[in-house]
């Protein structure tokens, strides 16, 4: 790996107008990181990456690099782009424990972070660096949110999240696991106990339904539930996965690793919605694909489909009159997910959009003063790097809000 990474770093042209950086949602200064590495300043490279993106170690593994940094590399126009992901992973993995995160002296203000996913971890790190005392509340026993319970081990080793937990604690961040805000504790209790502002990054954990007959049967499961603990399921040999997004690829590959021999993904469209790499890996692992299939219902024998007719542009022109019964031991529905509604239901004035996502402005301010939000609970099911990029904006907005609040209090 080290030799490969050095070779890749040496291929970098150090473009004056780095398209790789423009293609990254969080604008990682890739040329600067590679330059520092090439000159033997590895820890400096790691610090640059972490300062720009506290989740760089995670993003180096789970980002859709082919559409972002690597997809914009000028070398990719006529040949192979720089393998930025491998370089970033080597630097971030090697330097993670060595990075000394400088934090300003404590300013006496407390911040509550609800949700220990990518957005919550980012907010906690950024505000702790600014001198705030941060407590993270999470409804589950381990940190990471979707990273822990929605991405398989073979794509993101869970030891990385344990390393993040140690880093958070070393920075002085308190973590309360198995604590649901909106249950025994509500947001009003947090304000009562002196938290100056509250961040919500609870993600999207409610599976979206197909809205067809059969979804409550015992042979039917939802992707987000399955990925949280695959060992709890006995799916049988033949499994049908409804959906072809990145999550569906994770489901199919996990199912195969747990012993199912015949796994097929079904989609209405004519192509996979997942990244090319994830689709190719699913196929390599043994998953099969069926496109142009409209699911009608699910019964005890498996899903029932009607074939779709499409024109050359992919527009639906009609449906096959006859239906097709597919025999499957289990069916897993993987068509995205939405947020749960506990916080909205228990917090006066907190509003959600018609899709159930939290209503915010561009700075993450919700409809209640002092409460901010970002990540999937605002954006819907998006990528980790998008959640982190938005959270950087929100962290600055929270800091400005608390500074203004202090100045108003001083004036009073």
Confidence of residue 411 (pLDDT cuts 50, 70, 90): low
Tokens of 128: 């702790």
Q: Which pTM does this prediction carry? A: 0.93
209-335, CATH topology level = FAD/NAD(P)-binding domain (3.50.50)
Q: Count Cα neighbours of 246 within 13 Å in the Cβ-side half-sphere.
A: 15
- Contact (CB, 8 A) for 138 and 179: yes
- Contact (CB, 8 A) for 335 and 242: yes
Residue 410: pLDDT over 70:
no
Residue 355: pLDDT over 90:
no
Using the 8-state DSSP alphabet, how is residue 5 labeled? H
Q: Which residue has the higher pLDDT, 407 or 48?
A: 48
5-98, CATH topology level = Fumarate Reductase Iron-sulfur Protein; Chain B, domain 2 (1.10.1060)
Kindly report, residue by residue over 241-294, the tens digit of the pLDDT: 999 999 999 999 999 999 999 999 999 998 999 988 899 999 999 999 999 999
- Contact (CB, 8 A) for 139 and 407: no
Check residue 310 and give its pLDDT: 85
What Å distances lie between residue 9 and 5, 52, 167, CA to CA? 6, 19, 28
Q: Which residue has the higher pLDDT, 356 or 44?
A: 44
Average pLDDT over residues 359-381: 93
State the chain's mean pLDDT as an integer.
Answer: 94
Burial of 282 from C-beta contacts in 10 A (0-12 / 13-18 / 19+): buried
Average pLDDT over residues 1-30: 92
Check residue 159 and give its pLDDT: 98
Q: SS3 of 308, please?
A: strand
Q: Domains of the chain: which residue ranges?
A: 5-98, 110-206+347-410, 209-335
Two domains, one topology: 5-98 and 209-335: no
Q: Are strands 302-310 and 316-319 parallel, antiparallel or unpaired?
A: antiparallel
**Non-local CB neighbours of 22 within 8 Å, separated by 6+ positions:** 72
Superfamily of domain 110-206+347-410 in CATH is FAD/NAD(P)-binding domain (3.50.50.60)
């Amino acid at each position: 790996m080290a030799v490969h990474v050095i070779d890749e770093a040496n291929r970098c042209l150090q473009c004056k107008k780095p398209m790789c950086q423009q293609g990254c949602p969080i604008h990682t200064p890739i040329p600067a990181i590679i330059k520092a590495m090439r000159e033997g300043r590895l820890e400096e490279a790691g610090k640059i990456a972490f300062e720009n993106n506290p989740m760089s170690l995670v993003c180096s593994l789970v980002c859709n690099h082919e559409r972002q940094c690597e997809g914009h590399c000028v070398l990719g126009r006529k040949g192979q782009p720089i393998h930025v992901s491998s370089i970033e992973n080597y630097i971030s993995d090697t330097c993670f424990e060595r990075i000394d995160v400088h934090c300003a002296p404590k300013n006496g203000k407390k911040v509550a972070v609800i949700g220990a996913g990518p957005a919550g971890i980012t907010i906690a790190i950024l505000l702790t660096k600014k001198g705030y005392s941060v407590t993270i509340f999470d409804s589950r026993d381990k940190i990471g949110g979707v990273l822990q319970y929605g991405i398989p081990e073979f794509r993101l080793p869970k030891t990385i999240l344990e390393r993040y937990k140690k880093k958070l604690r070393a920075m002085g961040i308190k973590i309360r696991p198995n604590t649901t805000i909106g249950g025994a504790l509500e947001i009003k209790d947090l304000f009562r106990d002196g938290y100056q502002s509250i961040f919500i990054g609870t993600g999207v954990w409610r599976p979206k339904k197909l809205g067809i007959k059969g979804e409550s049967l015992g042979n039917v499961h939802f992707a987000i539930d399955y990925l949280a603990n695959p060992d709890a399921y006995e799916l049988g040999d033949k499994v049908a996965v409804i959906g072809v997004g990145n999550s569906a690829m994770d489901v199919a590959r996990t199912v195969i690793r747990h012993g199912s021999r015949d796994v097929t993904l079904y989609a209405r469209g004519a192509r996979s919605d997942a990244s090319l790499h994830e689709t190719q890996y699913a196929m390599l692992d043994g998953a099969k694909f069926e496109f142009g299939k409209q699911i009608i219902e699910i019964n005890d024998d498996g899903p029932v489909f009607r074939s779709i007719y499409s024109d050359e542009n992919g527009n639906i022109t009609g449906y096959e009159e006859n239906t097709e019964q597919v025999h499957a031991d289990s069916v897993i529905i993987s068509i995205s997910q939405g947020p749960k509604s506990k916080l909205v239901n228990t917090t006066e004035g907190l509003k959600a959009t018609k899709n159930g996502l939290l209503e915010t402005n561009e700075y993450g301010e919700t409809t209640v003063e002092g409460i901010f939000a970002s990540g999937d609970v605002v954006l819907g099911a998006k990528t980790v790097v998008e959640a982190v990029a938005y959270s950087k904006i929100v962290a600055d907005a929270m800091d400005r809000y608390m500074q203004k609040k202090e100045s108003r209090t001083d004036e009073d």
